A and B are shown apart, each in its own frame.
Chain A
Amino acid sequence: MNEVIRLEDVWVRYGDIVVLEGINLSVYEHDFLGIIGPNGGGKTTLLKVILGLVKPVRGRVTVLGDTPERSRRFVGYVPQITLFDREFPATVLDVVLMGRLGRKGILGKYGKEDLKVAYDALESVEMLELKDRRIGELSGGQLQRVLLARALVANPKILLLDEPTASVDEPTKTNLYKLLKKMNDKVTILLVSHDMGVISSYVEKIACLNRKLFYHGSPEMEGEAVEETYQCPIYLIAHGFPHRVLKKHKRGK
């Protein structure tokens, strides 16, 4: 299998604070990797490193065999919806078309092809009917799907999602994951979340991030890894886990 993302001993600092420490990560084509970790653990920063928006002070980042900057146009990014100004004057279609910015050229205008791709993407996330809605009038789940559509119109090979299920209700979460699962045939997916419950029943591989990365091949993650990442005993978190996730061996069989 092809390695699509590779991080070697990556360190990131904001001022004096070390945010990422010696990260090594390999993501292969068609992976569905979930990275969990507490807030402030560096999850968003990790995604920004892969996008080339944050420069590591040390280490090497390779995306699709090239630098992050040069591979950007093959990477779709779905940021956290909580960061958005809900009053912003743009419609659903306006936002989705932003995903085509890299293709149209800086002085160009969106053409018929762009519109068609945008409509298709909206259709695939079941938001076409609301294309003329102002984004402030959407629910959290709807906005999340719009941002997913925006990432999809660039026809990415890799999809990076930041807390895709934050402020979204349970049925919407499940739908979103099913949708991602379906797309996983075509794209490699890397998502980060602090919400372990839902993440682990859909992703194929899981890693924990709290400044350092603890990588584990399958979602049946070891109790120690979770403990070390969250710095709290495993049983406190285990309530949120779907049953199949936790191996029983840690809990006195």
Chain B
Amino acid sequence: MILWEALQYEFMRNALAAGILASIACGVVGALVVVRRMSMMSGGISHAAFGGIGLGYLLGFEPIYGALAFTIASAMMMGFIRERTEISEDSAIGILWVTGMSLGVIFIGLSPGYAPDLFSYLFGSILAVPSSDLAVMVVLDAVILTVVYFLYEEFLAVSFDEDFAKASGVPTERVYLILLSLVALTVVILIRVVGVVLVIAMLTIPAATAWQFSRRLNEIMLLSSILSVIFTIEGLWLSYIFNIASGATIVLVSVATLLLASALKKIFQ
């Protein structure tokens, strides 16, 4: 099989490992994003990351740390805007989205010389994940899983009925901020795999597909992680065979599966 042959290369093994690590995060957090209807919010946070990437280029530090700082900061800002201002969430997302992208473009323009991997931050570079990044991904995954384990009931309740959760004594504002932070961490993991522009796909498509076949939130989390692993491997394999962009291929494979699953569900119901 071609995939086996491909796995002889270290970059392919790293790509596979990165895909699996990213799938865990995007399956678990994606389920929360989709159920809470936060797809556009996660799009805003991921595009804000571009500002941090640009800052990394300008000041000469690893761009992924800039992305981490910008996603967390934008998550906090979104939480603040929602709770403390009159600006609608929808507009706030739009503002965040374009501010991040614009800052990124300006920072990169100001940086001396040429920005070689710019394209990979925008559209992913799963074939170029160094082992050091894998370690970061393991840590971020561990943080995400721990937080979701402890706050699962709260996330479920806040997504279902925020007023009731608040009336029951759940600190809904803080729970929401934590959820946004988890989205931020997941975005950072996913930037390696599919890039800033396509992150939103990995956060929503596997979970939306899984939702059609699940009764409970934890079932969506598990199933969407599994689906995401499958999509990543399929996408990697196809991109290897046809020598096309891996991130985009993963996304298109996911979209195709979502459409197929929806059609099958309609037929068999």
The yes or no verdict on A and B being binding partners is yes
**Residue positions of A touching B, CB distance < 8 A:** 48, 51-53, 72-73, 75, 77, 79, 83-85, 87-91, 94-95, 97-99, 101-102, 104, 106-107, 109-110, 134, 150, 154
Given the contacts A107-B150, A110-B153, A91 and B216 also touching, CB distance less than 8 Å: yes
Whether B153 pairs with A90 at a CB distance below 8 angstroms is: no
Whether B168 pairs with A102 at a CB distance below 8 angstroms is: yes
Whether A90 pairs with B160 at a CB distance below 8 angstroms is: yes
Given the contacts A101-B165, A101-B170, A89 and B215 also touching, CB distance less than 8 Å: yes
Residue of A nearest to B166 (CB): A53
Q: When chains A and B are docked, how far (Å) is the Cα of A91 from the Cα of B156?
A: 11
Whether A98 pairs with B215 at a CB distance below 8 angstroms is: no
Whether A91 pairs with B215 at a CB distance below 8 angstroms is: yes
Whether B169 pairs with A102 at a CB distance below 8 angstroms is: yes
Whether A79 pairs with B161 at a CB distance below 8 angstroms is: yes
Does B217 sit within 8 A of A, measured CB to CB?
A: yes
Residue of A nearest to B220 (CB): A89
**Chain B residues near A102 (CB-CB < 8 A):** 168-170
**Chain A residues near B161 (CB-CB < 8 A):** 79, 83-84, 98
New A-B pairs, 13, CB < 8 Å, besides A79-B161, A154-B168: A48-B163, A72-B168, A89-B214, A89-B220, A90-B216, A94-B216, A97-B153, A98-B160, A98-B164, A98-B165, A101-B157, A101-B168, A106-B154
Q: When chains A and B are docked, how far (Å) is the Cα of A98 from the Cα of B169?
A: 11
**Chain A residues near B219 (CB-CB < 8 A):** 89
Q: When chains A and B are docked, how far (Å) is the Cα of A72 from the Cα of B169?
A: 7
Cβ-closest 9 pairs across A and B:
A102-B169, A101-B168, A102-B168, A134-B215, A98-B157, A51-B167, A107-B150, A89-B217, A77-B167
Does B151 sit within 8 A of A, measured CB to CB?
A: yes
Given the contacts A89-B214, A110-B153, A98 and B171 also touching, CB distance less than 8 Å: no
A203 to chain B, nearest CB (A): 23
**Chain B residues near A110 (CB-CB < 8 A):** 153
Whether A73 pairs with B154 at a CB distance below 8 angstroms is: no
**Chain A residues near B150 (CB-CB < 8 A):** 107
B30 to chain A, nearest CB (A): 13
A142 to chain B, nearest CB (A): 16
Whether A95 pairs with B168 at a CB distance below 8 angstroms is: no
Does B118 sit within 8 A of A, measured CB to CB?
A: no
Whether B220 pairs with A53 at a CB distance below 8 angstroms is: no
Count of inter-chain pairs, beta carbons less than 8 A: 78
Q: When chains A and B are docked, how far (Å) is the Cα of A110 from the Cα of B154?
A: 11
Given the contacts A84-B161, A89-B211, A95-B160, A109 and B153 also touching, CB distance less than 8 Å: yes
* Listed A/B pairs (24) with beta-carbon separation below 8 Å: A53-B163, A77-B167, A79-B163, A83-B161, A84-B161, A87-B211, A88-B159, A89-B35, A89-B214, A89-B216, A89-B217, A90-B156, A90-B216, A90-B217, A91-B215, A95-B160, A98-B153, A98-B156, A98-B161, A99-B168, A101-B168, A101-B170, A106-B171, A107-B150
1/0 contact string of B134-158 vs chain A (CB within 8 Å)? 0000000000000000110110110
**Chain A residues near B211 (CB-CB < 8 A):** 87, 89
Max chain B CB contacts within 10 Å: which of A84, A94, A95? A94
Whether B153 pairs with A79 at a CB distance below 8 angstroms is: no
Q: When chains A and B are docked, how far (Å) is the Cα of A94 from the Cα of B155?
A: 12
**Chain B residues near A87 (CB-CB < 8 A):** 211
A54 to chain B, nearest CB (A): 10
**Chain B residues near A104 (CB-CB < 8 A):** 153
**Chain B residues near A79 (CB-CB < 8 A):** 161, 163-164
Max chain B CB contacts within 10 Å: which of A91, A104, A106, A107? A106
**Chain A residues near B151 (CB-CB < 8 A):** 106-107
Within 8 A of A (CB), among B155-188: 156-157, 159-161, 163-171
Q: When chains A and B are docked, how far (Å) is the Cα of A83 from the Cα of B160?
A: 10
Contact of A101 among B35, B169, B216 (CB under 8 A): B169
1/0 contact string of B216-232 vs chain A (CB within 8 Å)? 11011000000000000
Within 8 A of A (CB), among B108-156: 150-151, 153-154, 156
Given the contacts A53-B166, A77-B167, A101 and B220 also touching, CB distance less than 8 Å: no
A73 to chain B, nearest CB (A): 6
B195 to chain A, nearest CB (A): 29
Whether B168 pairs with A73 at a CB distance below 8 angstroms is: yes
**Chain A residues near B220 (CB-CB < 8 A):** 89
B153 to chain A, nearest CB (A): 6
**Chain A residues near B215 (CB-CB < 8 A):** 89, 91, 134
**Chain B residues near A52 (CB-CB < 8 A):** 167
Whether B153 pairs with A88 at a CB distance below 8 angstroms is: no
Max chain A CB contacts within 10 Å: which of B159, B161, B171? B161
Given the contacts A72-B168, A72-B169, A134-B215, A101 and B163 also touching, CB distance less than 8 Å: no
**Chain B residues near A97 (CB-CB < 8 A):** 153
